[in-house]
Structure 1
């Protein structure tokens, strides 16, 4: 199954699309978007490393996420290359209000597998939203080099999304995962409704 078919079958089940005004302000704030994107890739790699450290006994999780760590760090390096070749300064990290609000929805308690599912679904949701935003940049940026850059990242993020969903269903029943996933999707919709539209943030 190619990534397009996988995407149609498993994603992007986001309940609210990004406000179309976001891409317009993002184009104006390209430096800020690239810097924020670089930090997002750092955090994505760190999140996978954290899961491996927390659940080292889960062979499948370790085997699936280890290459994802490498891919996310390669993305960070690629974004840094885009920053440097434009003469931009990297700058300090910014608070990611989107991720902060998602973290607040993580259900506390339960078994280790319950907790694992929560983290996997949160990561899946972040990848799904990133994929959607990369698609907007691919479709709307004027610079061909940058458009191709975001197309390739869009494809990669789609694959990472599927990794997280598949892992959740490996360690929990499909029914449990689907029920909780619908709750995450509804919650994320409300988060998106209430987030300020900012062109200096990837999320």
Structure 2
């Protein structure tokens, strides 16, 4: 049985697991991974703030995402702390091909709630993939402190994933959310198939 078949479906419904070669490359480029990770956390916090600002009348959304903003920013600060502890520079942001390709899949037009659902599902997918990659780092890094760090973040990202899915089903019919979620998962699978394995990217 291939590693794809053995792992498929065991983590957050992702249709294609990360190629195991990624973690080997990442281990040799931890500075770059940490820098990219810091920017990922910053963008995750900004994304939640954007949703709160755009949909302030949605009480449950504001209630659920406000603490997520704080958690994502705490993760950003903690990643920055890991960089400082290791004497590594922060550096400039890199082009995030993964997220750009996900954004291109967002349906144009439609109702306000349809637009919200698209962004919630995209965020859920990013959190799911992050959780999967944090698990790989937790299980494979030799640095004990970083292993513990990525275990804690893996658990947190899994919770965020659930938050986004639940919110989508709060504001849009469940059956339509599940149908569209399946389409997002299939699209993300194709993205992973086509992207090169790089050690300077979290995604």
TM bin (shorter chain): over 0.9
Tell whether the 8 Å contact from 2:11 to 2:132 is kept in structure 1 after alignment.
no
Equivalent residues in 2 for 1:4-153 (5 A)?
12-153=12-153
**Which structure has the higher relative contact order (CA within 8 Å, separation 6+)?**
1
Distance 1:76 1:178 in 2: 31
TM-score (norm 1): 0.95
Q: Which runs of 5+ in 2 are unaligned?
A: 1-9
RMSD: 1.2
Distance 2:54 2:95 in 1: 24
What's the CA shift string for 1:32-62, capped at 9, x where partnerless? 0000000000000000000011111101000
| Equivalence for 1:3 | none
What's the CA shift string for 1:1-42, capped at 9, x where partnerless? xxxxxxxxx961100000000000000000000000000000
Instruction: Give the secondary-structure state (helix, strand or coil) at the position aligned to 2:34.
Output: helix
Question: How far apart are residue 162 of structure 1 and its match?
Answer: 0.2
Aligned residues: 195
Distance 2:11 2:169 in 1: 15
Q: Which runs of 5+ in 1 are unaligned?
A: 1-9
